[in-house]
Chains A and B, each alone.
Chain A
């Protein structure tokens, strides 16, 4: 039996569900937000497996090509190699941006879902704004993803292609929707003699919610610790090494010493890898922490047994901890650690899907009750 299957609980659903009714703004934003995060994470996992390392290898090859062209005194080949580096970096950059923006918009959607009771706009307007936000949240990352493939084809502008135009339009929709919600909150705050609002999400004190809140915050803390350690111990050393290796390449290329150039290139590649895993571990730890805290708020709407809600909360935290830890271990264990990190990412995705299904089940029961009431009155 789930938490909400008993008759007594059904009454509490009716009250709590007032803000989460069929196709309500809060429901659209909650389900749409988790959906965006899920797809964003899946894109990230696919990117990590099929694009990231291959792309890094191509950038390395092009940089090596530029350095060897410098050794042989071919300035035109240097320029061609750097053009290729630019193209590979653009390809990589647009994939990362797609991943990051989908997840960030998902977080924003969840935050906007939480504050819905304080948005002093009619439910119809809030729903339209929610749809606007979600459409924009999809348009921007899809547009960004297509930038590398569409380029300037059929574009009416000289420097900006259709994919960029589409992405910018999506971004404008997101900004407009967010501003409208902020306006609604400002209207609420200006209302004279406004009553103290109680909300089921903020009142929740379930153990699954507490696990996600405390665990999520611990992940954020861990990410900060790691960031502070990296800034103190490695950042300046890495910056100095970056310059020293490039100088070494340049001096060795002038002396036509290809062996030293190759050695410096190898070290430069290692340095780039080291920097990338530290930044990825820091960012993922904090972002997963924030995700855990956000989904912690929505636990009252997850229609699963208490024990399963706790299990999925722990699974999400375990995956969220494992991914940054194994990303860091890639430096020592290589691709094995990378593979485990991908599995951890998958664990977070599965836990999130389970919570999403729980929310859909909850809203499904609300819909059934609404239909039943309509039938009775009809």
Chain B
């Protein structure tokens, strides 16, 4: 097994496990609380409006906005880590069809690093609203895109046997 294949397959399985463990943690400790909170804060806001209590309505809407911001990112992190893990494993099985070993390793390392960092940056946005987490997510997704573009080009140009 080539180093690039090993990195992609073992890294992919590791990332899938990370995504699943994170998903279990999220489902048990955060998801239902966030969903309940979103539903309740929205209903509370409209009920407060019906009672002409603008202050309570505004507070409840702010709570809804913050919960939805975190909920969307938590779900995205879970989905992207597992989705990227599947892509890593599948590409690990196919990578020997094209490229020399040095290019294989470069693309595999870029894809692996990007797949880990991009969702991590998104997750960190729930803890810190500053530019750091956003920069990490952008850098991670750029690494994924550049590596995938390189692989696409290589597979499209690979020789066929028929």
A interface with B by C-beta (< 8 Å)? 66-67, 69-70, 72-75, 77-79, 82, 86, 107, 111, 114, 182, 202, 204-207, 209-210, 213-214, 217-218, 220-221, 224-225, 227-228, 231-232, 239, 242-243, 246-247, 250-251, 253-254, 286, 290, 293-294, 296-297, 306
Contact = CB atoms under 8 A, between A and B. Distances in A.
A254 B49 contact: yes
A111 B89 contact: yes
Contacts of B130: none
A330 to B, nearest CB: 22
Contacts of B106: none
B152 A218 contact: yes
A204 B162 CA distance: 10
Nearest to A289: B87
B160 A207 contact: yes
A41 B83 CA distance: 18
Given A210-B160, A220-B87, A290-B90, A250 B50 contact: no
Interface in B130-150: 137-138, 141-142, 144-145, 148-149
Contacts of B142: 228
Contacts of B34: none
B49 A82 contact: no
A73 B51 contact: yes
B57 interface: yes
Contacts of B51: 73, 75
Nearest to B161: A205
Contacts of A70: 46-47, 49-50
Contacts, number: 133
B46 A205 contact: no
Interface string B13-26: 10000000000000
27 contacts: A70-B49, A73-B51, A77-B50, A78-B47, A78-B49, A114-B93, A202-B96, A205-B160, A209-B160, A210-B156, A210-B158, A213-B94, A214-B155, A217-B152, A217-B155, A221-B145, A224-B141, A228-B145, A231-B137, A239-B69, A239-B72, A246-B61, A247-B58, A250-B54, A250-B61, A251-B54, A253-B49
A227 B156 CA distance: 23
- Pick from B52, B148, B158 the residue with the most CB of A within 10 Å: B148
Given A205-B161, A221-B148, A79 B47 contact: yes
A38 to B, nearest CB: 19
B117 interface: no
B104 interface: no
A297 B93 contact: yes
A82 B42 CA distance: 9
A145 to B, nearest CB: 20
B155 A210 contact: yes
Given A70-B49, A75-B47, A228-B141, A293 B54 contact: no
A290 B86 contact: yes
A213 B86 contact: no
- Pick from A82, A221, A253 the residue with the most CB of B within 10 Å: A221
A341 B90 CA distance: 27
Contacts of B155: 210, 213-214, 217
Contact of A82 (B46, B144, B159): B46
B54 A254 contact: yes
Contact of B162 (A111, A242, A306): A306
B93 A202 contact: yes
- Pick from B49, B72, B86 the residue with the most CB of A within 10 Å: B49
Given A254-B49, A293-B94, 17 more contacts: A69-B46, A70-B46, A78-B50, A205-B159, A205-B161, A207-B162, A217-B148, A217-B152, A217-B155, A225-B145, A231-B137, A231-B141, A250-B49, A290-B83, A294-B90, A297-B94, A306-B162
Given A82-B39, A290-B86, A250 B156 contact: no
A18 B72 CA distance: 47
Contact of B50 (A69, A86, A239, A242): A69
A114 to B, nearest CB: 6
